[in-house]
A = this chain, B = another copy of it.
Amino acid sequence: MPESVIEFLLNNDLDCFIQYGGVKDANMVYATGFRPPDPVFYLIFIDTDVLLVPQMEYHRALKESRVREVYSYEDLGWRELYKKEKNMDKAMAKAITNFLQSYGATSLGIPGNFPSGYGFVFEEYFDVKIVSNPFAHMRAVKTEYEIASIVESSHVAVDAITMVVEYLSNHVRELKKGKLTSEKLRNMVEVELFNQGYVAENTIVSSGVSTGNPHEVGNGKIEWNSHIILDIFPRSKRTGYCSDVTRTIFLGEVSDQITEMFDVVREAYVTAEKMVKEGIGVREIYNAVCDVFEERGYDTLRKESKKGFIHSTGHGVGLEVHELPSVADNDYILKAGNVITIEPGLYYPEIGGVRLENLVVVKKNGCQVLTRYPQEVWIRHE
């Protein structure tokens, strides 16, 4: 167990911290090294840590996890309690309650996403505190191995952008005839990434006015004399680490409204990128980006608008595409080793949207861009 987690227990006056999750829960995979298809319980005490798993996962957990003690639900007497309770979740909560009491625990920490079905039962027996998951915070600062893994994913993401731009450049005639679709490009990107060992789903290839919704994945014909938002976020099947990059691609002639939006987004991007380094508060970056937009007459969420710049300036990327730190209106101070996106965008549902996103590693005196590719992409001629 890392020192910082023990400190966390002491600082919060907790006998035990419990988290619950399976292979899709990055905190579980990060903390235990175990990848169970269905959720399991992970308990940390001051002097030991324990994994509680279904019997069918017991031997694998012993072999594959980094955790000191492993018990199956059967070991905890779950089955007999179930016969009495007739409710699986309650029987499980009781079995774990008995286990915790046998370890002398009276105060428990659980993260906000811990299931209420168990949390409500624990409340009856323990002093339960909702605490921020210490592993989520540890994950925000990457090790060298983690950064190397994200660099690898970033190369693959940029290669995919390159592939799409080359494909579009070679198919201008088809584009002009309206023969290319978002679905076709998305499939091309996702199949290529999968062949490289990466999973990408819901890759954004939105075009025209539908770009005005930031998470619109895009459907149907891609119009000439319009633009595309291409947002690619692959996860490596081998390492589990992700990347995240977005380009706005202009096709033929585009309205001044859109190109002016793009120029301001790029200005906001450059402003943010220049500020990123260890020791700066994310709120400062968020506000600087909002300032750029507002000075140029665009709307922001900061001004309580529902259009314009309506999301954060960025987010951490690692085992998850969205993780800590959030680069937004909060108190976080950047640390060297944070890996964050910088992704200002403008969105008007009746006009369309633009976004520019790079993934960067925070350094002592600045940042290193992992997704290097031209910021402005035009395809004008056959």
Q: Which residues of A contact B (CB under 8 A)?
A: 23-24, 35-38, 54-60, 63, 72, 74, 79, 88-89, 110-120, 123, 128, 130, 187, 190-191, 194-195, 197, 199, 201-202, 212-216, 237, 301, 304, 306, 310-311, 321-322, 330, 347, 349
Partner of A59, one of B55, B88, B195, B212: B212
Contact partner of A330 among B88, B202, B322, CB < 8 A? B88
User: Are B38 and A213 touching (Cβ within 8 A)?
Assistant: no
Q: Are B74 and A306 touching (Cβ within 8 A)?
A: yes
Cβ B57 vs Cβ A301 within 8 A: no
Kindly state the separation between the CA atoms of A24 and B237 in the bound complex, as whole angstroms. Answer: 18
Identify the 3 closest CB pairs spanning chains A and B, nearest first: A112-B117, A116-B119, A194-B194
- Contact A306-B116, Cβ < 8 Å, known A37-B322, A195-B191, A237-B201: no
Specify the chain B residue showing the minimal Cβ separation from A112.
B117
Whether the pair B304, A74 counts as a contact (CB closer than 8 A) is yes
Among A119, A128, A215, A310, max chain B CB count under 10 A is at A215
Contact of A114 (CB < 8 Å), options: B116, B197, B301: B116
- Identify A23's interface contact among B114, B202, B212, CB under 8 A: B202
Q: Considering only CB atoms, which chain B residue lies closest to A92 in the complex? A: B112
Residues of B within 8 A of A311 (CB): 54-56
How far is A56 from B307 in the complex, measured between Cα atoms in Å? 9
Known contacts A23-B202, A36-B215; decide if A59 and B119 are in contact (CB<8 Å). no
Contacting A38 at CB < 8 Å: which of B35, B237, B322? Answer: B322
Q: A37-B202, A306-B55, A310-B55 are in contact. Are A215 and B117 (CB under 8 A)?
A: no
Give me 14 A-to-B residue pairs in the complex whose CB atoms sit less than 8 angstroms apart, sorted by A's number. A37-B322, A38-B322, A54-B311, A55-B301, A55-B310, A55-B311, A74-B306, A88-B330, A89-B130, A112-B115, A112-B118, A120-B130, A190-B194, A199-B201
**CB contact between A56 and one of B128, B130, B310 (< 8 Å): that residue:** B310
Q: How far is the CA of A54 from the CA of B322 in the complex (A)?
A: 14
Docked CA distance A37–B217 (Å): 11
Q: Which residues of B contact A110 (CB under 8 A)?
A: 116
CA distance A56 to B310 in the complex (A): 6
Q: A215-B56, A301-B55 are in contact. Are A112 and B130 (CB under 8 A)?
A: no
Using CB atoms, name the residue of chain B closest to A302.
B79
Q: In the complex, how many angstroms separate the beta carbon of A184 from the nearest chain B beta carbon? A: 13
Give the distance to chain B from A234, nearest Cβ to Cβ, in Å. 12
Contact A214 to B56, CB < 8 A, known contacts A195-B191, A304-B74: yes
Cα A70 to Cα B82 with chains together (Å): 40
Q: Once bound together, how far apart are the Cα atoms of A24 and B322, in whole Å? A: 14
List of B residues within 8 angstroms of A58 by Cβ: 306
- How far apart sit A23 and B347, CA to CA, in the bound complex (Å)? 22
